[in-house]
Amino acid sequence: MKLAEMQRLFYQLASRAPGSEAIEPAAFLAGSPSLDARSRIRIYADMFIWRQVDALRDDFPKLALLLGDGPFYAMAEDYLRAHPSQHASLSELGRALPAFLRTWSGEGGRTDLADLAALEWARAKVFEEANVEAAPSEQLRGFGREELPQLRLRFVPALRVLRLEHELGALWQALEQAAPAGSPSPRGESIAVWRKGFEVLHAPLEADEAQALALARSGEPLGVVCEAFALRSDAVEAAFRAISSWFAEGWIRAEEAR
């Protein structure tokens, strides 16, 4: 048997790929009196899955806490069977988990699991983004009245905006405090996720600010962005507060104006 074929068969057995039950490991793997070939390969297969489950636990610690050890492991096994690793790095292993959880119905399943996973994935990816110099918070005040409506903002890479089907604030706080988790909230929300220094943060956005932020990130000038606040009685003040906070939180690149 050639080395390439041996490697292919070994990977199928170690990853418990569909159809691997029909492969006879003794054909290419030596056994011993105390441990036959199939028992030896089972050790590798167990380690293979455990390492991947550990990687998922690292990226989704709140999800693991909410489900508990046994249900989380069972869910992770279901996920890995449906979405085997396709990337050399384990850091990409959980990319499809939020979508997977939308239809998963195993032990501990609840309707907000997918949103919780989406938030944790966004936090993990934001932490990995390139470090880009942010504009100083006072820079916004340096533009004249005539310049502001035409100003377009450029955002740092370490920022994500999620639209979720459930409010997660109470659930996140309960998990932070190791308190019992309440029932899923029926209300949706938009959440900004960003990195400030080495700290990853997230916060809910009001509907008008979420709309304004989407406009700004799509390249619209501030004159158009501010229209998102038009229905408020304090539209001018609300727009200024929101945009000022984007600068204060480090969302805007230092070379933001164009």
Backbone torsion region of residue 16, taken as left when φ is above 0, otherwise alpha when ψ lies between -120 and 50, otherwise beta: left
Say what the pTM is. Answer: 0.86
Nearest to 203 by CA among 132, 85, 123: 123
8 A C-beta contact, residue 149 and residue 246: no
Give, rounded to a whole angstrom, the gap between the first and last alpha carbons of the chain.
Answer: 63
Q: Give per-residue pLDDT as tens, 127-146.
A: 999 999 999 988 888 887 88
pLDDT of residue 255: 66
pLDDT of residue 168: 97
- Ranges of residues in the chain with a pLDDT under 70 are 15-16, 20, 255-258
The span from the CA of 102 to the CA of 106, in Å, is 11
**Whole-number percent of the chain with pLDDT over 90:** 69
The span from the CA of 252 to the CA of 158, in Å, is 10
pLDDT of residue 257: 47
Question: What is the DSSP secondary-structure string of the chain?
Answer: --HHHHHHHHHHHHTT-TTGGG--GGGTS---SSS-HHHHHHHHHHHHHHHHHHHHHHH-HHHHHHH-HHHHHHHHHHHHHHS---SSSGGGTTTTHHHHHTT--STT--TTHHHHHHHHHHHHHHHHSPP-PBPPGGGGGGS-TTTGGG----B-SSEEEEEESS--HHHHHHHHTTPPP-PPPS--EEEEEEEETTEEEEEEE-HHHHHHHHHHHTT--HHHHGGGGTTSTTHHHHHHHHHHHHHHTT-BBTT---
Q: Give per-residue pLDDT as tens, 76-117.
A: 999 998 998 887 788 999 999 999 999 999 999 999 999 999
8 A C-beta contact, residue 60 and residue 90: no
pLDDT of residue 92: 93
pLDDT of residue 258: 47
Look up the CATH number of domain 115-258.
Answer: 3.90.930
